[in-house]
Amino acid sequence: MCLSTHQKSVLLLAAIILKYIFIDYERIKAVGPDRAAAEWLLRCGAKVRFRGFDRWQHDYNGLPTGPLGRYRIEAIDATESCIMYRGFDHLEGLEHVEEIRFNKCIYIEDACLERLSQIKTLQDSLKNMTMVSCGNVTDKGIITLHHLRNLEWLLLSDLPGVKDKDQTVDRLQTALPRLTIELDLA
Protein backbone atom coordinates (compact mmCIF):
# COMPACT_ATOMS: atom_id res chain seq x y z
CA MET A 1 0.00 0.00 0.00
CA CYS A 2 1.41 3.35 -1.05
CA LEU A 3 0.57 6.37 1.11
CA SER A 4 0.51 9.92 -0.14
CA THR A 5 2.64 12.58 1.52
CA HIS A 6 -0.49 14.00 3.15
CA GLN A 7 -1.51 10.60 4.55
CA LYS A 8 2.02 10.08 5.92
CA SER A 9 1.88 13.52 7.57
CA VAL A 10 -1.49 12.73 9.17
CA LEU A 11 -0.21 9.40 10.50
CA LEU A 12 2.92 11.05 11.88
CA LEU A 13 0.86 13.75 13.60
CA ALA A 14 -1.46 11.12 15.08
CA ALA A 15 1.53 9.18 16.41
CA ILE A 16 2.97 12.31 18.01
CA ILE A 17 -0.35 13.21 19.64
CA LEU A 18 -0.78 9.68 20.99
CA LYS A 19 2.71 9.82 22.48
CA TYR A 20 1.73 12.87 24.52
CA ILE A 21 -1.63 11.62 25.76
CA PHE A 22 -0.97 7.91 26.10
CA ILE A 23 -0.78 6.76 29.69
CA ASP A 24 1.61 3.90 30.22
CA TYR A 25 0.49 2.41 33.53
CA GLU A 26 3.34 -0.11 33.43
CA ARG A 27 5.82 2.77 33.21
CA ILE A 28 4.18 4.42 36.23
CA LYS A 29 4.59 1.18 38.20
CA ALA A 30 8.19 0.79 37.08
CA VAL A 31 9.48 4.30 37.81
CA GLY A 32 6.93 5.59 40.30
CA PRO A 33 4.32 8.31 39.99
CA ASP A 34 6.65 11.28 40.39
CA ARG A 35 9.08 10.23 37.66
CA ALA A 36 6.27 9.22 35.28
CA ALA A 37 4.40 12.48 35.91
CA ALA A 38 7.60 14.51 35.41
CA GLU A 39 8.25 12.75 32.10
CA TRP A 40 4.70 13.48 30.87
CA LEU A 41 4.73 17.10 32.06
CA LEU A 42 8.11 17.86 30.48
CA ARG A 43 7.11 16.19 27.20
CA CYS A 44 4.12 18.53 27.16
CA GLY A 45 6.27 21.63 27.72
CA ALA A 46 5.66 22.10 31.45
CA LYS A 47 8.30 22.38 34.19
CA VAL A 48 8.57 20.66 37.55
CA ARG A 49 10.43 21.44 40.73
CA PHE A 50 11.47 18.58 42.96
CA ARG A 51 11.28 18.67 46.74
CA GLY A 52 14.50 20.03 48.22
CA PHE A 53 15.58 21.77 44.98
CA ASP A 54 15.25 25.44 44.03
CA ARG A 55 15.77 24.95 40.29
CA TRP A 56 12.91 24.19 37.89
CA GLN A 57 13.45 21.13 35.72
CA HIS A 58 12.44 21.76 32.11
CA ASP A 59 14.75 19.47 30.14
CA TYR A 60 13.37 15.96 29.70
CA ASN A 61 16.84 14.58 29.05
CA GLY A 62 18.11 16.23 32.23
CA LEU A 63 15.64 14.53 34.57
CA PRO A 64 17.53 13.28 37.59
CA THR A 65 17.99 9.57 38.07
CA GLY A 66 18.24 7.67 41.28
CA PRO A 67 16.39 5.23 43.48
CA LEU A 68 12.63 4.92 43.12
CA GLY A 69 10.97 7.64 45.19
CA ARG A 70 14.04 9.81 45.66
CA TYR A 71 12.73 12.74 43.63
CA ARG A 72 9.27 14.01 44.59
CA ILE A 73 7.47 16.67 42.59
CA GLU A 74 6.75 19.70 44.77
CA ALA A 75 5.61 22.20 42.12
CA ILE A 76 4.30 22.15 38.56
CA ASP A 77 4.51 25.10 36.17
CA ALA A 78 2.36 24.30 33.15
CA THR A 79 2.75 27.75 31.56
CA GLU A 80 2.00 27.56 27.83
CA SER A 81 2.17 23.77 27.90
CA CYS A 82 -0.05 21.35 26.01
CA ILE A 83 -1.23 19.33 29.01
CA MET A 84 -4.81 18.19 28.67
CA TYR A 85 -7.45 16.13 30.45
CA ARG A 86 -6.39 12.74 29.12
CA GLY A 87 -2.98 13.00 30.75
CA PHE A 88 -4.20 13.96 34.21
CA ASP A 89 -4.08 10.31 35.29
CA HIS A 90 -0.32 10.88 35.48
CA LEU A 91 -0.95 13.06 38.55
CA GLU A 92 -2.42 10.16 40.57
CA GLY A 93 -0.14 9.25 43.44
CA LEU A 94 1.74 12.55 43.63
CA GLU A 95 1.87 13.19 47.38
CA HIS A 96 4.06 16.30 47.68
CA VAL A 97 2.73 18.77 45.10
CA GLU A 98 2.13 22.07 46.88
CA GLU A 99 1.90 24.42 43.89
CA ILE A 100 0.44 24.29 40.38
CA ARG A 101 0.56 27.10 37.82
CA PHE A 102 -1.79 27.05 34.84
CA ASN A 103 -0.84 30.08 32.74
CA LYS A 104 -1.93 30.36 29.13
CA CYS A 105 -2.89 26.69 28.97
CA ILE A 106 -5.23 26.45 25.98
CA TYR A 107 -6.21 22.85 26.66
CA ILE A 108 -7.09 23.29 30.33
CA GLU A 109 -10.86 23.12 30.75
CA ASP A 110 -13.41 22.46 33.47
CA ALA A 111 -13.01 18.68 33.20
CA CYS A 112 -9.28 19.06 33.94
CA LEU A 113 -9.96 21.00 37.13
CA GLU A 114 -12.61 18.52 38.17
CA ARG A 115 -10.20 15.62 37.60
CA LEU A 116 -7.42 17.42 39.45
CA SER A 117 -9.76 18.05 42.40
CA GLN A 118 -10.68 14.36 42.59
CA ILE A 119 -7.11 13.19 43.12
CA LYS A 120 -6.95 12.34 46.83
CA THR A 121 -3.25 13.03 47.28
CA LEU A 122 -3.59 16.49 45.72
CA GLN A 123 -6.58 17.23 47.93
CA ASP A 124 -4.18 16.84 50.85
CA SER A 125 -0.99 18.45 49.49
CA LEU A 126 -1.93 21.31 47.14
CA LYS A 127 -1.61 24.74 48.77
CA ASN A 128 -1.13 27.28 45.96
CA MET A 129 -2.64 27.53 42.51
CA THR A 130 -2.42 30.08 39.73
CA MET A 131 -4.85 30.13 36.83
CA VAL A 132 -4.21 32.85 34.25
CA SER A 133 -5.46 33.16 30.66
CA CYS A 134 -7.00 29.71 30.41
CA GLY A 135 -9.88 30.50 28.08
CA ASN A 136 -11.76 27.21 28.43
CA VAL A 137 -12.18 27.43 32.21
CA THR A 138 -15.61 28.50 33.48
CA ASP A 139 -17.28 29.03 36.85
CA LYS A 140 -18.11 25.32 36.93
CA GLY A 141 -14.43 24.33 36.81
CA ILE A 142 -13.36 26.88 39.42
CA ILE A 143 -16.06 25.70 41.83
CA THR A 144 -14.74 22.11 41.66
CA LEU A 145 -11.56 23.34 43.35
CA HIS A 146 -13.45 23.27 46.66
CA HIS A 147 -12.33 19.63 47.00
CA LEU A 148 -8.73 20.80 47.43
CA ARG A 149 -9.20 21.13 51.19
CA ASN A 150 -5.70 22.46 51.95
CA LEU A 151 -5.66 25.10 49.22
CA GLU A 152 -4.47 28.34 50.86
CA TRP A 153 -3.93 30.71 47.93
CA LEU A 154 -5.56 30.97 44.50
CA LEU A 155 -4.89 33.53 41.77
CA LEU A 156 -7.55 33.82 39.06
CA SER A 157 -6.83 36.21 36.20
CA ASP A 158 -7.99 36.72 32.61
CA LEU A 159 -10.52 33.88 32.56
CA PRO A 160 -13.20 35.00 30.09
CA GLY A 161 -15.26 31.86 30.73
CA VAL A 162 -15.87 32.86 34.35
CA LYS A 163 -19.12 34.82 34.12
CA ASP A 164 -20.37 35.03 37.73
CA LYS A 165 -17.18 35.75 39.63
CA ASP A 166 -18.90 36.92 42.82
CA GLN A 167 -20.99 33.78 43.27
CA THR A 168 -18.07 31.56 42.26
CA VAL A 169 -15.74 33.19 44.79
CA ASP A 170 -18.43 33.08 47.50
CA ARG A 171 -18.95 29.35 46.97
CA LEU A 172 -15.21 28.66 47.12
CA GLN A 173 -14.75 30.89 50.16
CA THR A 174 -17.62 29.15 51.97
CA ALA A 175 -16.16 25.72 51.28
CA LEU A 176 -12.56 26.80 52.01
CA PRO A 177 -12.64 29.59 54.61
CA ARG A 178 -8.81 29.69 54.93
CA LEU A 179 -8.39 30.25 51.18
CA THR A 180 -7.05 33.60 50.01
CA ILE A 181 -8.32 34.40 46.51
CA GLU A 182 -6.72 37.06 44.34
CA LEU A 183 -8.89 38.11 41.43
CA ASP A 184 -8.20 39.96 38.22
CA LEU A 185 -11.34 39.03 36.30
CA ALA A 186 -12.76 41.91 34.29
Residue 78 burial (CB count, 10 A): 24
Three-state DSSP class for residue 184: strand
For the chain, counts of helices (H) and of strands (E): 7, 6
pTM equals 0.88
The SS3 of residue 36 is: helix
**CA 28, CA 31: separation in Å to the nearest integer?**
6
Domains parsed from the chain with CATH numbers? 5-184 (3.80.10.10)
Q: How many CA atoms lie within 13 A of 171 on its CB side?
A: 14
Identify the weakest region by mean pLDDT among 25-34, 75-84, 111-120, 166-175: 25-34
- pLDDT tens for each residue of 8-41: 665 665 555 555 556 888 888 889 999 999 999 9
For residues 113 and 116, give the distance between their C-alpha atoms in angstroms, rounded to a whole number. 5
